[in-house]
Amino acid sequence: MEKTFTPDHYKLTCILDEVKKTFRQYKLNSADRPDLLPELVRTQKNNGYNSITGAENLLIIRNASNWTKCTLIGLRPTGIPNFYYSDLPVKGVKSLIVVFVPDNEKTMVLRVYKQFYPHLAIDRHRIINSIIQKF
């Protein structure tokens, strides 16, 4: 039986704050490590006006005074409904993030694997599937 390595991670929960035609805004509700993300994040459809590929949706991190200058990350599908993954820069280091958005979209649960990102796709998918099973 193969044991799958699961790195240390931090859980963050966001609740729906505002809905507009082009985005859904979430407010940080609880966090194991509140310093990993700012209080506000948004999700929106990827309109293609960026260099992100393979992601239909974007997560925008409110880390600047203007939303247009904020960090964009692509939410890539995992193959399991409502679960997405991406790389999130945490203090300049690429970190894995797994995101769960239920059908009602009223909450969003993020698990951040700080300073950990498997570069081989086969390892990344195996670890992400293991993470989702334990979600």
1 within domain boundaries: no
What does the pLDDT look like over 4-31, one tens digit per residue?
566 788 999 999 999 999 999 999 999 9
pTM: 0.90
Q: How many CA atoms lie within 13 A of 74 on its CB side?
A: 14
* Number of domains into which the chain is organized: 1
Write out the residue range of the structural domain in which residue 70 sits.
10-133
Please tell me the predicted confidence (pLDDT) of residue 1: 40
Please tell me the predicted confidence (pLDDT) of residue 6: 62
18 within domain boundaries: yes
Report, as ranges of residue numbers, the positions in the chain whose pLDDT lies below 70.
1-6
4 within domain boundaries: no
Dihedral pair phi/psi, residue 93, rounded to 5°: -115, 135
Rg (CA), the chain: 14
* Cα–Cα separations (whole angstroms), residue 100 to 71, 85, 104: 19, 9, 11
2 within domain boundaries: no
5 within domain boundaries: no
Please tell me the predicted confidence (pLDDT) of residue 91: 81
